[in-house]
Amino acid sequence: MANTLAETLTDSGLIWRNGVPLRNLCHWKIGGPADYVIEPRSAEEAAAAQRIAREANVPFLVIGHGSNMLFDDAGYRGVIIKLGSRMSRCRFSGSRVRAEAGIWAPMLARACAGRGLTGLEHIVGIPGNLGGLLYMNGGSLRQSIGDAVVCVDILDGQGNIAAVSAAECDFSYRHSVFQEKKSIVLGVELELQQGTPGEVRRKMLDILRERREKFPLDLPNCGSVFSNEPRLYEAYGPPGMVIEQTGLKGARIGDAELSVRHANFIVNRGRASSADVFALIRHVRRKVLERTGFLLHCEVCYAAPDGRCGRLDAFL
């Protein structure tokens, strides 16, 4: 099977590699080898990669920059379709921008700032790509990328390329319909507002300054591990504060540590394993549940070696 798939990929003209260490494809710097990694250069190549994986009857997973992903130490027995810099074009028309899924979020934010377009300042410090942001409806400062969406270009489960409206995306806090439907996000059209380049850049500089002061940006991490649930927030505050008040700030299992700078970040102190991260998350959830009666939910996704993938909660 492996040789057949390798031959098919070679004949396809796609850019691909085998035996790729997944720790090199994610921000946590954790993960064993993936059997195959394909890097499409267009929506059509993404469709071809999906079709080849399906016809070979092997699992496949679409990733961006891996900023919100935990890979397993055993790796991934299937095909990773990586949407990155090879699919990162964008174009502007008035207050609207169309961008491909692989564009780096800070790069898109800065491109908009250069044209005086406001509405994406909150993503300037998020170390991920646009496709991942749309999948998670990510953002910061209590804002979400979905707020600016007009429509999203997708590759559906049947291999068809289509556009879905913002309403069809079912955006809510850190959620989109793509988490259930398993469609591949290829690109997006966004509606922004006109401001001035100087004003937008000043907002971005303030956001970046606050992130540098607040977050442990010097060690591998995936950003916020636990989501900000409204009922928990009203009763006790945001997850980082709750974890700190539970006395867990700085807690460590193996080389996975709750950051001493921000307790909702788990950092890799050197050689953390996926097992270390799982154990630390279980420990935090148990302690917070005992103290507050609330069970923390993860923002982070996990890819199992057998091809299963989803919110990490489902694997605890």
Q: Which residues are designated catalytic?
A: 174, 224, 299
Q: Is 98 left (phi over 0), alpha (psi -120 to 50) or beta?
A: beta
Structure tokens at 233: 């927030």
Q: How far apart are CA 296 and CA 196, in angstroms?
A: 40
Strands (E), 192-251: 193-194, 221-224
Residue 274 three-state SS: helix
Cα-Cα end-to-end distance for the chain: 32
Cβ contact 26:15 at 8 Å: no
Structure tokens at 108: 């898109």
Beta carbons within 8 Å of 57's beta carbon, 6+ residues apart: none
Token representation of residue 131: 């496709």
Q: Where are the beta strands (DSSP E) in the chain?
A: 16-21, 33-38, 60-63, 69-71, 76-82, 90-93, 96-100, 117-118, 149-155, 161-165, 184-191, 193-194, 221-224, 252-253, 256-258, 265-268, 301-303, 309-311
Q: What are residue 151's phi and psi, to 5 degrees?
A: -155, 160
- According to DSSP, the β-strands at 33-38 and 16-21 are antiparallel
